[in-house]
Amino acid sequence: MDKFSNLKSGDAILMADDDSKYNSAAWAGGITDRKIWIGNSSKGSPYVWNSWDDYFGNNPARYQNAPTYTRNGGGARSIIVYSKDSTMTGITHFAVMNKANDQLHGFDCESKIGTWGRITHTEKSLYGSEYGKTYYSYYEVQSPLKFKHNTLTKLALPTVCTMEQSIKEGLSIDRKVELSASEKEELDGFGRLVLDKDFEKMYSDWVADYTLADNFGEDNAIFSGQEFQKLVQQGRKHWKKNMSFLCDKIFVNTNEYEDEQDLASVLLCEMVAPYYAAKMDSIKDDWFKNQYTEDGKYICPTIEYFTKRYVKSILEEEYTKANVAQDFDGNFIVLEGRNLKVNLAKDAVVSLQFQNVTTNSSLMLLNSQLMKKGKYVYEIDVLPLASGVNVCTLVVNGKASSVKLIK
């Protein structure tokens, strides 16, 4: 409490247990199972909300039946926004007013402060160097569709609710995305391409520093500081290898820290943006056009959902690139399943071999053999090949081209 000199112990009634899973922005928006970060509107970002007005205004919806708020008034004052310097970039905290989120309590406000449990307080009790002071407020948007439970007829009419309730009632879905067996193998192959211990060390330090910090204010700065930018630049040096490393945090999610899945997701998206940002934008555009499942559930626009779809799309394109060698003088090779297709534009001396990236072991199929113009198909016997990434190289009259096969 010493961080908030105006907060009196008698005012701070504990409303929920200590919990580091969510922050004040999430709580103010009806979400209690993850933190909410916004403000990164760059191409390739996994966010769909570019401002707090978008987030609280349901543009797009946080979940089905999420309450909608606006700065323009019209309804009850519901959310207080604190800022250190009365600017958008200085925003530090969000507190909900009495009955906001349909939560009735005896004081003016209820807050999720840092890793504390939610507490009640007066509006001015959080004023000071930590949060600053009130910057502006959001007001509830009145809608004829928002009714409370009709106790007279026992008819449940549409009403605002939390994300947890929306999912429980089948109105929304936190859609899961998983990797196929072949996609996992492709990522494993990326992981064996090169060692980048510098990136892994920098990543571990970055996550630990964020998690161990006394983060009472909103923590968007984790993605704008120098440490993050250096991490992104290091990650791009060997982005395939480092994407494989981050995907362990995103898909397997046996992480030491609660926020690590989303932290790794945002980092991955920023890291690969120079190469594939348009893919993320396409994925989000597709979601905007198809926000509901076939049975009518709203697909919640989470960082995890978009990042996982992004990874799958990247892997699909990288697989295609790796399995169609560059055309040179009309000669090319294509790998389709176990069939290796070779096209020769003219008679030529041909060599064809596989080499394993990890073990350097090789398997020679053709060794300087004179072959006639035409198309050839070879069925690959994968048993002699070493596990991991195998590079198939075709040499035609001294010119080489290659494709990759992951075993």
One domain, residues 376 and 235: no
Q: What is the pLDDT of residue 152?
A: 42
Taking CA 87 as the corner, what is the angle to CA 85 and CA 89, rounded to the nearest 5 degrees?
A: 100
Rg (CA), the chain: 27
* Number of C-beta neighbours around residue 341 at 10 A: 13
Q: What are phi and psi of 42, to 5 degrees?
A: -70, 160
One domain, residues 346 and 294: no
pLDDT band at 143 (very low <50, low <70, confident <90, very high): low
Task: Give mean pLDDT, residues 137-145.
Answer: 79
Length of the chain: 407
Whether 5 maps to a domain, the answer reads: no
Whether 92 maps to a domain, the answer reads: yes
Q: What is the pLDDT of residue 216?
A: 47
* SS3 letters across the chain: CCCCCCCCCCCCCECCCCCCCCCHHHHHCCCCCCCCCCCCCCCCCCCCCCCHHHHHCCCCCCCCCCCCEECCCCCCEEEEEEECCCCCCCEEEEEEECCHHHCCCCCCEEEECCCCCEEEECHHHHCECCCEEEEEEEEECCCCCCCCCECCCCECCCCCCCHHHHHHCCCEECCCCCCCHHHHHHHHHHHCCCCCHHHHHHHHHHHHHHHHCCCCCCCHHHHCCHHHHHHHHHHHHCHHHHHHHHHHHHHHCCCCCCCHHHHHHHHHHHHHHHHHHHHHHHHHHHHHHCCECCCCCEECCCHHHHHHHHHHHHHHHHHHHHCECCCECCEEEEEECCEEEEEECCCEEEEEEEEECCCCCEEEEEEEEEECCEEEEEECCCCCCCCCEEEEEEEECCEEEEEEEEC
Task: Give mean pLDDT, residues 85-100.
Answer: 84
The total number of structural domains in the chain stands at: 3
Q: What are phi and psi of 343, to 5 degrees?
A: -115, 125
One domain, residues 23 and 158: yes
Q: Assign residue 375 the CATH number of its domain.
A: 2.60.40
Distance CA 392, CA 139 (A): 63
One domain, residues 21 and 156: yes
pLDDT band at 148 (very low <50, low <70, confident <90, very high): very low
Beta-bridge partners for 112: 118
pLDDT over 90 at 354, yes or no: no
For residues 4 and 58, the model is more confident at: 58
Whether 269 maps to a domain, the answer reads: yes
Q: What is the pLDDT of residue 93?
A: 92
Q: Which residue has the tokens 């993050």?
A: 228
One domain, residues 318 and 331: no
- Report the candidate in 121, 116, 117, 94 with the shortest Cα–Cα distance to residue 106: 121
Q: What is the pLDDT of residues 155-173, one digit of tens each?
A: 444 577 899 999 999 999 9
Which range has the top average pLDDT, 142-156, 174-188, 325-339, 390-404?
Answer: 174-188
Q: What is the pLDDT of residue 17?
A: 73
One domain, residues 93 and 124: yes
pLDDT over 90 at 97, yes or no: no
Average pLDDT, the chain: 82
One domain, residues 58 and 130: yes
* Number of C-beta neighbours around residue 125 at 10 A: 21
One domain, residues 106 and 47: yes
pLDDT band at 138 (very low <50, low <70, confident <90, very high): very high
pLDDT over 50 at 154, yes or no: no
Whether 115 maps to a domain, the answer reads: yes
Whether 186 maps to a domain, the answer reads: yes
Q: Which of 267, 301, 322 is at the close of a domain? A: 322
For the record, the structure tokens of 340 come out as: 């290796």
Task: Give mean pLDDT, residues 252-280.
Answer: 89
Distances (CA, A) of 215 to 40, 77, 379: 19, 27, 58
Whether 1 maps to a domain, the answer reads: no
Whether 86 maps to a domain, the answer reads: yes
Q: What is the pLDDT of residue 232?
A: 96
Q: Which of 106, 137, 172 is at the close of a domain? A: 172
pLDDT over 50 at 349, yes or no: yes
Distance CA 302, CA 26 (A): 12
Look up the domain containing 343 and give its range: 327-406
pLDDT over 60 at 276, yes or no: yes
One domain, residues 190 and 94: no
pLDDT over 80 at 100, yes or no: no
Q: Which of 114, 147, 172 is at the close of a domain? A: 172
Q: What is the pLDDT of residue 245?
A: 94
Whether 360 maps to a domain, the answer reads: yes
One domain, residues 205 and 305: yes
Distance CA 243, CA 318 (A): 12
- pTM, two decimal places: 0.75
Do 241 and 269 contact (CB within 8 A), yes or no? no
One domain, residues 150 and 85: yes
One domain, residues 58 and 168: yes
Q: What is the pLDDT of residues 372-385, one digit of tens each?
A: 888 887 776 666 66
Taking CA 230 as the corner, what is the angle to CA 227 and CA 233, rounded to the nearest 5 degrees?
A: 150
pLDDT over 60 at 64, yes or no: yes
* Number of C-beta neighbours around residue 370 at 10 A: 8
